[in-house]
Amino acid sequence: MKLKDFYRLAIEIGIKNDLRPREEIERLLREEKEKYDKLEAEDKENFDLDRLFNPFADSRVLVGDLEAEVSRILAGIDMDGSEVLLAYILNRDQKKKIDLVLAHHPSGRALARLSEVMALQVDLLSAFGVTPSVAEQLLEKRIGEIERRLLPVNHNRTVDVARLLNLPLACFHTPADNCVTRYLTDLFQQKAPERLKDVLNILKEIPEYRNSSRNSVPPRILSGSENSRAGKIYVDMTGGTEGSRDIYEKQAAAGISTLVGMHYSEEALEKAKKANLNVIVAGHIASDTLGLNLLLDQLEKETGQTLEVVTVSGFERIRHS
């Protein structure tokens, strides 16, 4: 398939797996179109046209000819200059060519705008009973914090290496995170675990978490005990990065009992404990791997094409039926 089709389909899969109503995402895209239409000609030149169809600011094709064919990719969770150079060396030394370097975590302009995708956390929290205005105001401060933290970052470091080596580079962050969030949310609703030990057992049945456990990074309980009641489970795995650390009391008040996330800072964990929430860390790289695998599974299903995937940087290609 062409790179442009690969990209567009990945975004569509991210939208399909988004826990927000599709109507809300379409509204956001319409707003972007209205903003674009009102711009002066000079400002339109600097507008990222991907925003007209892609609601995920942290997911982009960063380098490459969109008309190029893609059948073999080098995929990993974190891809920097060393992985791009590896792709170049593999292309030089092997007969089979790598057509695309695919990262999960963003770089380039996708990293620069990571904070923008955090707004979707408001919709997820609202769906679980947190008052929208409360979620918005608490998250607004955190979004500003992340935006400022990213300002001095050398965003294009990896992008420049890919450009010089003439290697297509893309990153799909929130689309993959949406896939794992949807998958686990549906799974927990279906299996209705009673205790935290049941939540752990469900996670450990999933190949990505089982393999991570073998590598000494199993899902684990950080707050609560194995016999604690699971109650209402909130899968905290999408929306860019860790949200407001003042949200946990509001989640508890909304009836949430258990958080299942990729990772939590010490400050966030302490505040979750003070709110008497159970906290399970499923694992960062394992969760990212599951999300990217689910995204690639759906992409292959939609196209009928099986991609050859060379894995690196913590990623392992596992196909789910």
**pLDDT tens-digit series, residues 23-42:** 999 999 999 999 999 999 89
Question: What pairing do the DSSP bridges indicate for beta strands 220-223 and 169-171?
Answer: unpaired
Average pLDDT, the chain: 96
Residues 136 and 225 grouped into a single domain: no
For residue 213, is it within any domain? yes
Residues 225 and 251 grouped into a single domain: yes
Report the pLDDT averaged over residues 133-141.
94
**From residue 86, how far is each of 75, 99, 103 by CA, in Å?**
12, 13, 14
Could you read off the pLDDT of 47-79 as tens digits, one per residue? Answer: 999 999 999 999 999 999 999 999 999 999 999
- Which residues constitute the domain of residue 219? 180-283
Residues 28 and 125 grouped into a single domain: yes
pLDDT grade, residue 95 (50/70/90)?
confident
Residues 198 and 98 grouped into a single domain: no
Report the pLDDT averaged over residues 146-162.
96
Number of domains in the chain: 2
Residues 47 and 102 grouped into a single domain: yes
**From residue 161, how far is each of 42, 74, 91, 109 by CA, in Å?**
29, 15, 15, 15
For residue 306, is it within any domain? yes
C-alpha–C-alpha distance, residues 209 and 290, integer Å: 8
Report the pLDDT value the prediction gives residue 21, as an integer from 0 to 100.
94
The residues, ordered by sequence, that sit 6+ positions from 133 with a Cβ below 8 Å of its Cβ are none
Report the pLDDT value the prediction gives residue 267, as an integer from 0 to 100.
96
pLDDT grade, residue 136 (50/70/90)?
very high
Residues 50 and 191 grouped into a single domain: no
Report the pLDDT averaged over residues 189-217.
97
One DSSP character per residue, 189-224 reads: HHH--SBHHHHHHHHHTSHHHHHHHHTT---EEEES
Could you read off the pLDDT of 81-91 as tens digits, one per residue? Answer: 999 999 999 99
Could you read off the pLDDT of 258-283 as tens digits, one per residue? Answer: 999 999 999 999 999 999 999 999 99
* pLDDT > 90? residue 121: yes
Q: Is 85 exposed, middle or buried (0-12, 13-18, 19+ CB in 10 A)?
A: middle
C-alpha–C-alpha distance, residues 223 and 243, integer Å: 18
Report the pLDDT value the prediction gives residue 321, as an integer from 0 to 100.
72
